[in-house]
Amino acid sequence: EPAAPLGAHALVVDGEDTFTAMLAHVLRSGGLEVTVRRFDEPGLAEVVRAHEGPVVLGPGPGDPSDAADPKMRRLRELTATVLREHRHGVLGVCLGHELIAAELGLDIVRKQVPYQGAQTVIDLFGRAETVGFYNSFTARCDDEAARELAAHGVEVSRTPDGEVHALRAGRFASVQFHPESVLTVNGADLVRELVSGLLTAPTGS
């Protein structure tokens, strides 16, 4: 029996990535209305503030820790704003995940070997999922940081050596992998599950 459509309007912030169109397609397949806006579109901050639906911080190239990059400065400011103010859910994918992780105080480091189309089985919040990674950077979270985040209601999915695969709390969730990639076996279902969790979270969480 097919799941009921999610019935909300998602605003996707495009970080200059060819995967953005595919991500929008996956969101639409779950029953969401989808609008895509470039990160550098004039007036984007006001559009995001007024949006009454989930905001999706999409993938894109670049180092989120590079304060000299105007793109990253703009996206860091936008991420801080939506995490602080947005009441209709925030989903981060790849770069969007790294931006959320950085806002939570986690270190973002360059991977020794970049993932560019790597299919891997990961432990995603307690269950095995086959997913596709395309990232040169990753968030790191040691045991102490994980305990601190857990005390604030943030669940961290990570490898034994601290590489962060995903984050979730009440009103936000993020994944380092690309759920919209064909390398992610259950990608559409994972997106639906994450967005559904955002839409049903208590407003103040």
Catalytic residues: 94, 178, 180
Q: One-letter amino acid identity for 58?
A: G
Q: Which among 160, 173, 98 has a CA at the least distance from the CA of 135?
A: 98
Question: What token pair was written down for 27?
Answer: 């969101």
State phi, psi for 69 to the nearest 5 degrees: -90, 115
Looking only at the bridges linking them, the beta strands covering 164-168 and 172-175 are antiparallel
Q: For residues 139 and 96, is the Cβ–Cβ distance under 8 A? A: no
- For residue 194, give every residue at least 6 positions away whose Cβ sits within 8 Å of its Cβ, in sequence order, or none: 91, 168, 173, 175
Residue pair 71/62 in contact by the 8 Å Cβ criterion: yes
